[in-house]
């Protein structure tokens, strides 16, 4: 059984990441958590 290639998210900054990931997280029935910055 072949495995799917990993999906790569390309984002310029934290706001871009939130815009791309947030809707998918909500569709999955979860609530996005705050992202800790190092």
pLDDT at 10: 72
pLDDT at 31: 65
Phi then psi for 16, rounded to 5 degrees?
-65, -40
pLDDT at 3: 74
State how far the Cα of 23 lies from the Cα of 27, in Å rounded to an integer: 6
State how far the Cα of 14 lies from the Cα of 18, in Å rounded to an integer: 6
pLDDT by position in tens, the chain (length 38): 567 777 776 767 888 877 878 787 778 776 666 665 55
Phi then psi for 9, rounded to 5 degrees?
-100, 125
pLDDT at 6: 74
pLDDT at 32: 60
- Check if the beta carbon of residue 20 is closer than 8 Å to that of residue 9: yes
State how far the Cα of 27 lies from the Cα of 12, in Å rounded to an integer: 23
């Amino acid at each position: 059984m072949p495995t799917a290639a990993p999906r790569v998210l390309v984002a310029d900054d934290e706001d871009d990441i939130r815009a791309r990931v947030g809707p998918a997280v909500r569709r999955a029935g979860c609530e996005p958590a705050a992202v800790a910055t190092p």
